[in-house]
Structure 1
Amino acid sequence: MVVLLEGMCPGLDKDLLRSLRAADIRTVEDLVSSDIEDVAQKCSVSYKALLSIRRVLLAQHTAFPVSGADLYEELLSSTAILSTGNPSLDKLLDSGLYTGEITELSGGPGSGKSQVCFGVSVHIAHRLKQSVIYIDTTGGLTASRLLQMLQTETDNTDEQMEALQRIHTFRLFDVCALLDCLYGLCSGGLHKARVGGGSVKAVIVDSVSAVIAPLLGGRHNEGMSLMIQVAAALKTMAKDFSVAVLVTNHVTRSGSGEVQPGLGVSWSHIPRTRILLERVETGACVSRPGRRRVTLVKSSRQACRIKEDFDLQRWSGADGEAPSGKRKLDQADP
């Protein structure tokens, strides 16, 4: 069930949305299954305009068959791998973040999720010369922190400013604002974000769970519907625009007490790759607060439960070859 929202398609504005809700039409399913002529009369809107909206919504939310050969050719021609800038993390991710896919980083408070996102965005903007969309839902992103990380990469002030210009930030604190932002990016915002010849190659949402988790639970299913809409928008963006999507998530505990990514079973099918970030608190590493351990929870390319250790305070560049058939994006790529 997909809830109707302003801006989902041309013509679906705030006034029409209010009229549709007054007519008890709240979801895409309600609209496409209703008598359009009857709805047009109730809402005092043009039958032709409402029919056009219905056709667009059907096209957006209907699957079309694609052959396996076409999928494979598309994979070879469009998939690139973005180094995260950290060798250990790249190794766990089978060389880095893949365009066309959603990668999830989950962890508890203070585990360093945002720090990893900062490091990834700085590396892509500075080293790879590509633009990054950074959606901050917690208010944790600051320009001073990004500049501090860039200053460890280069002493050249011009290079620092150029990299900062490639990181486009949005501060959004509710799921409707997030959806509006994602729809806007898909309808032209990604092209407008091209800076210095580099296209948008990564979209980071830190954190997706901060705006979704409060809506889940209870007897109302609107929160679940909004979560699926966010997932669909991220998947569409990743695939249609060949960008790597990185989202962060909180953690919960299973019935056996094991730490696991949050947002439940329905969300677990959305990311192609899921990694769990934890602090290392035992042994000699206690005196090194930046030490972290990442565990591969879900992957279609590597065996799960692989673990890697790395230091957040040493976010350095990574070299390496991409797997056969895909290209490693290690320099400006128009």
Structure 2
Amino acid sequence: MVALLVGMCPGLDEGLLRSLRAADIRTVEDLVSSDIEDLAQKCSVSYKALFAVRRVLLAQHTAFPVSGADLYEELLSSTAILSTGNPSLDKLLDSGLYTGEITELTGGPGSGKSQVCFGVAVHIAYHLKQSVIYIDTTGGLTAGRLLQMLQTETNNRDEQMEALQRIHTFRLFDVCALLDCLYGLGGGGGLHMACVGGGSVKALIVDSVSAVIAPLLGGKQNEGMSLMRQVAAALKTMAKDFSVAVLVTNHVTRSGSGEAQPGLGMSWSHVPTTRILLERVESGASGRRSATLIKSSRQACLIKEDFDLQWWSRAEGGRGGAGGGGETSGKRKLDETDP
């Protein structure tokens, strides 16, 4: 709430402010929601003057109304869905990663978070012809691994190099460096300047966000929480202002009953729009993983899908089709023809 103060607008002087406070009107919200005629009588002030103050405060402190049709048109023009390249994950994500949103992969060591991120980056860069910003905070990303995955997609050396050029990597190992990177990309057209490999930037991957934040959430609680909020705000701004799909990874902790739950606490839990928990599948091949939807604004939670981490490393002919889901009402799914 915004407190009423002297000088906030013409006509709001000390005398009027005292009268308003005597009538228990202390905030802008109190004033604009009051019956002005009745309030003018209680305060013994001019109805015309009070109405003028209310009108100025409304213009300064409230948003202009937007129709539902305008919001729908904005959604059509700004929101796209990027397939992860894996049908099982796309099914959990209601067709894929949504631009303008933050999606989180959470899981313990060896659960496959980084491997999924590699596969998503390769799929977007090669199949969708879009650029990807990949921020590596653990040192696990190598160009050799990306090239190996691309070699299963195409034997054409030029196509492999073009796809690699669309994946722009940053290796950062502390939260301040991460913030500097995000601010740099978001300011001065940095995100658009990164598109040297062709295609616009449609995805931002941070693997792992918890690696640089979790160490700060101990003794220096206030500083750590503040930095975490700054990272969250920067990622949300990138997602919304540049219409990119943000994918982050997070570690897990154990609840009192021993169940795995996402790290970074309740404050961070409100940041991702969608959260998926990755776990090993005890039986079967070593690459088998289970993915459980634990937070979503579009689908029922606790849906589980099994998938193979080697999916992104197989030849296209052995996949039996890729993509996972068609277009969603009000949104478009990116394919090779998108600019």
Same fold (TM over 0.5): yes
Corresponding position of 1:321: 326
1:177 equivalent to 2:177? Answer yes
Deviations 1:79-127 (A, max 9, x none): 0000000010001100000000000000100111000000000000000
Q: Are residue 124 (structure 1) and residue 98 (structure 2) matched?
A: no
The structure 2 residue matched to 1:295, chosen from 289, 292, 300, is 292
Q: What is the deviation of 1:193?
A: 1.3
Conservation of the 8 A alpha-carbon contact between 1:166 and 1:195: yes
Amino acid at match of 1:328: K
- In structure 2, the partner of 1:46 is none
Question: Against the structure 1 CA distance between its residues 142 and 180, is the aligned structure 2 distance closer, same or farther, given a 3 Å change threshold?
Answer: same
Relative distance call for 1:68 and 1:232 in structure 2 (3 A) is: farther
Shift of 1:195: 3.3
Q: How does 1:278-293 map to 2 (within 5 A)?
A: 278-282=279-283, 285=284, 288-293=285-290
Q: Which residue of 1 aligns with 2:245?
A: 244
- String of CA shifts for 1:265-324, please: whole Å, max 9, x gaps: 000000000000000013xx1xx1100000000000000000000001122532531211
User: Contact (CA 8 Å) 2:290, 2:305: kept in 1 or not?
Assistant: yes
Contact 1:82 1:98 in 2 (8 A): yes
Q: Decide whether the 8 Å contact of 1:130 with 1:332 is kept in 2.
A: no
Q: Secondary structure at the match of 2:330?
A: coil
Corresponding residue number in structure 1 for 2:223: 222
Once the two structures are TM-superposed, the CA of residue 256 in structure 1 deviates from its matched residue by 1.9
Q: Measured at CA, do residues 143 and 302 of structure 1 come closer, stay the same or move farther in structure 2, by a change above 3 Å? A: same
Counterpart CA distance in 1 for 2:337 and 2:198 is 8
- Map 1:97-246 to 2 at 5 A: 97-187=97-187, 188-218=189-219, 220-246=221-247
TM-score of the two chains, using structure 1 as the length reference: 0.78
AA partner of residue 161 (structure 1): M
Q: 2:129, 2:336 within 8 Å by CA — same for their partners in 1?
A: yes
Q: What do residues 139-179 of structure 1 show as CA deviations (whole Å, max 9, x unaligned)?
A: 00000000000001111000000000000000000000000
Alignment of 1:23-34 (within 5 A): none
Check the 8 A contact 1:172/1:178 in 2, yes or no.
Answer: yes
**Ranges in structure 1 where 5+ consecutive residues have no aligned partner:** 1-61
CA distance in 1, matches of 2:164, 2:231: 27
Secondary structure of 2:311 counterpart: coil
Distance across 1 between alignment mates of 2:63 and 2:163: 39
* 2:305 counterpart of 1:308: yes
Residue 276 of structure 2 corresponds to 275
Cα distance change of structure 1 residues 66 and 243 upon mapping to structure 2, 3 Å threshold: farther
Matches within 5 A, 1:29-44: none
Distance 1:64 1:205, change over 3 A: farther
Return the offset for 1:219: 5.6
Kept in 2, the 8 Å contact 1:250–1:262? The answer is yes
Output the TM-score relative to the length of structure 2: 0.77
Query: Is contact 2:94–2:325 with CA below 8 Å preserved after alignment?
Result: no
CA gap of 1:332–1:169, structure 2 versus 1, over 3 A, is: farther
Output the aligned Cα RMSD: 1.6
Partner in structure 2 of residue 93 of structure 1: 93
The Cα shift of 1:75 comes to 1.6
Question: Is residue 273–residue 300 contact of structure 1 (8 Å, CA) maintained in 2?
Answer: yes
Question: Which whole-Å deviations, capped at 9, do the CAs of 1:169-215 have from their partners, x for residues lacking one?
Answer: 00000000000000001012211111344000000000000000000
> 4+ residue runs of structure 1 moved beyond 6 angstroms?
none
SS at match of 2:205: strand
Unpaired stretches in structure 2, ≥5 consecutive residues: 1-60, 313-318
In structure 2, the CA distance between the partners of 1:66 and 1:306, relative to structure 1 (3 Å rule), is farther
Identity %: 83
Q: Distance in 2 between matches of 1:319 and 1:260?
A: 27
Structure of greater Rg? 2
Question: Following the alignment from structure 1 to structure 2, what is the Cα–Cα distance between the partners of residues 126 and 319?
Answer: 17
